[in-house]
Amino acid sequence: DIVLTQSPDSLAVSLGERATINCKSSQSILYSPNNKNHLAWYQQKPGQPPKLLLYWASTRESGVPDRFSGSGSATDFTLTISNLEAEDVAVYYCQQHYTTPPTFGQGTRLEIK
Amino acid sequence: QLQESGPRLVKPSETLSLTCTVSGGSFRSSSYYGGWIRQPPGKGLEWIGSILYTGSTYHNASLKSRVTISMDTSKNQFSLNLTSVTAADTAVYYCARHRGSGYSFIDHWGQGILVSVSS
């Protein structure tokens, strides 16, 4: 199985600042035929299911604010949240959708400093 | 929309059975895979498997021998059976919709149902 390792496990960022979460894959998840990175990002707030933020590493899901952006390729990816708002407090997960079984990172807890 | 239902308490060694009811559209005509994902309390996400209306399935090999995913298109439902459960199977179980293949990203999630395994 592909292992995804997120860093850091938790971080605290001030309102209005930028939060950066990393996700490293144990193997490349860049699919050559379509030149797309098969990585998604989710946000999970307490007591709620995860919510899809980004897929193909950088494509924003409909309705997701453009403060959320994704970058990276092959094995190293980043989720960036700009202009942090109080509502962004959550646990964030990356997921590879390159091969079965799809696997998730361990999660990164984002808090307000 | 997706809604999980089933017993919230299962005894060890018994079978966990959950159903996901799809509303707001036909599971059969959607061409999306319906999936199951679980999350032990306070822990991360584990994908269990998925099913297309044709009956095509994907399973997580770590659970495959204990997992059956089936569907009832007439009821717009798909189901999960997990046999020989132990305390380690205690988790919130989510049904979800994969966009694309049976292991693609997930664009819709049910609210989840907490199933506890205890005698």
pLDDT of residue B24: 82
Asked if B17 contacts B86 with a C-beta cutoff of 8 angstroms, the reply is no
A70 touches B at CB < 8 Å: no
pLDDT of residue A43: 98
Poorest-pLDDT segment among A7-16, A75-84, B20-29: B20-29
| Interface contacts A/B by beta carbons within 8 Å | 56
What tens digit of pLDDT does each residue of B109-118 get?
999 999 999 9
Identify the band that residue B53 occupies on the pLDDT scale cut at 50, 70 and 90: confident
Q: Calculate mean pLDDT across residues A12-27.
A: 98
Contact A49 B111 (CB under 8 A): yes
pLDDT of residue B101: 87
A93 touches B at CB < 8 Å: yes
Helix (H, G, I), strand (E, B), or coil: what is residue B88? helix
pLDDT at A14 over 70: yes
Across chain B, what does the average pLDDT equal?
93
* Distance between B112 CA and the closest CA of chain A, angstroms: 7
pLDDT of residue B13: 97
* Distance between B78 CA and the closest CA of chain A, angstroms: 19
Asked if B20 contacts B95 with a C-beta cutoff of 8 angstroms, the reply is yes
Q: Closest Cα to residue A27, out of A76, A68, A69, A64?
A: A76
B102 vs A contacts (CB less than 8 Å): 100
pLDDT of residue B31: 77
Instruction: Pull the structure tokens for residue A38.
Output: 């098969």
pLDDT at A104 over 70: yes
What tens digit of pLDDT does each residue of A42-100 get?
999 999 999 999 999 999 999 999 999 999 999 999 999 999 999 999 999 999 999 99
Cα separation, B13 vs B16, in Å, equals 9
Instruction: Pull the structure tokens for residue B35.
Output: 């999936």
Helix (H, G, I), strand (E, B), or coil: what is residue B41? coil
